[in-house]
């Protein structure tokens, strides 16, 4: 009897039968996961690129007349009245830059939006179209409006540029800015000039710290 028992095949113990599988090292597991992510990202990027090219071939995507900033918008508006692809109300403004022989009158169009942004565009046009080279690089930094008053915050170099001009031409430059703002943006009647957020006291005998309206600008 004992011999028969001893000849039976030995059954493995429970611990031997259920040996846990050895896991791959952490480094290999992380590397495998990263590889899968890279494969999926590459496939998604390639697929999106093919999809966009297909849309472009079918003229679903049109790059023309797409603007990314105010300058692009102004160039598009200046392209001509026949351009009907710009959606939105247009506002016609009259600006008064300083020419070689005095103040000149010019027209421009802006896409009607926030009034402060329109004022910045108009003032920058006055500087950009000026015959004074120093003024061509001046751009208004900020505009603050308080009732009938507008505060123009201009960059460093504005007061120094005025100081290089004769007093007569400096006054014409300031008058052109004031007239551009007052005539186009009701109910504004006064313009204050700041430089880098600070008051500018005097440029020669010109008191920039005072409020400027058409009365004292013309006087």
User: pLDDT for 18-63, tens place per residue?
Assistant: 555 666 677 677 777 777 787 877 777 666 666 666 655 555 444 4
Question: Does residue 118 belong to any structural domain of this protein?
Answer: yes
Closest among 67, 69, 71 to 87, alpha carbons compared: 67
User: 109 is in which domain, residue-wise?
Assistant: 70-218
Question: Does residue 133 belong to any structural domain of this protein?
Answer: yes
Task: Write down the pLDDT at residue 57.
Answer: 58
> Confidence class of residue 3 from pLDDT cuts 50, 70 and 90?
low
How many distinct structural domains can be found in the chain? 1
* Distance, C-alpha 126 to centroid of its chain: 20
Q: What digits encode the pLDDT tens for the residues 105-126?
A: 999 988 877 899 999 999 999 9
Question: Does residue 50 belong to any structural domain of this protein?
Answer: no
Task: Write down the pLDDT at residue 60.
Answer: 47
Averaged pLDDT of the chain: 79
Closest among 100, 118, 134 to 180, alpha carbons compared: 118
What's the pTM?
0.61
Percent over 90 (pLDDT), the chain? 47
Task: Write down the pLDDT at residue 171.
Answer: 95
Question: Does residue 191 belong to any structural domain of this protein?
Answer: yes
Task: Write down the pLDDT at residue 118.
Answer: 94
Question: Does residue 20 belong to any structural domain of this protein?
Answer: no
Task: Write down the pLDDT at residue 214.
Answer: 86
Question: Does residue 34 belong to any structural domain of this protein?
Answer: no
Task: Write down the pLDDT at residue 6.
Answer: 54
Q: How many CA atoms lie within 13 A of 73 on its CB side?
A: 17
In the chain, the largest separation of any two C-alpha atoms, in whole Å, equals 133
Question: Does residue 27 belong to any structural domain of this protein?
Answer: no
Would you say residue 158 has pLDDT above 70? yes
Task: Write down the pLDDT at residue 65.
Answer: 46
Task: Write down the pLDDT at residue 180.
Answer: 97
Question: Does residue 4 belong to any structural domain of this protein?
Answer: no
DSSP letters for 30-87: HHHHHHHHHHHHHHHHHHHHHHHHHHHHTT-S--TT--SSHHHHHHHHTT-TT---S-
Task: Return the exposure string of 190-218: e unless at least 16 CB atoms fall within 10 Å of the residue's CB, then b.
Answer: bbbbbbeeeebeebeebebeeebbbeebe
Q: What digits encode the pLDDT tens for the residues 167-187?
A: 999 999 999 999 999 999 999
């Amino acid at each position: 009897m004992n011999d028969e028992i001893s000849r039976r095949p030995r059954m493995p113990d429970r611990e031997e039968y259920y040996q846990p599988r050895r896991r791959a090292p952490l480094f290999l597991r992380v590397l495998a996961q990263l590889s899968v992510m890279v494969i999926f990202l590459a496939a998604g990027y390639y697929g999106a690129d093919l999809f966009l090219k297909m849309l472009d071939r079918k003229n679903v995507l049109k790059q023309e007349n797409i603007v990314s900033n105010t300058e692009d918008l102004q160039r598009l508006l200046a392209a001509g009245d026949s351009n009907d692809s710009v959606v939105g109300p247009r506002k016609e403004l009259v600006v008064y830059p300083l020419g070689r022989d005095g103040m000149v009158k010019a027209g421009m169009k802006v896409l009607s939006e926030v009034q402060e942004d329109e004022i910045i565009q108009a003032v920058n046009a006055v500087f950009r179209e000026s015959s004074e080279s120093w003024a061509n690089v001046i751009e208004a930094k900020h505009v603050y409006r308080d009732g009938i008053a507008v505060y123009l915050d201009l960059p460093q170099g504005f007061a120094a540029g005025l100081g290089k001009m004769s007093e007569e031409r400096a006054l014409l430059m300031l008058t052109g800015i004031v007239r551009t703002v007052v005539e186009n943006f009701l109910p504004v009647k006064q313009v204050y000039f700041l430089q880098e957020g600070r008051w500018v006291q005097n440029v020669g005998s010109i008191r920039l710290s005072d409020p400027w309206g058409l009365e004292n600008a013309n006087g």
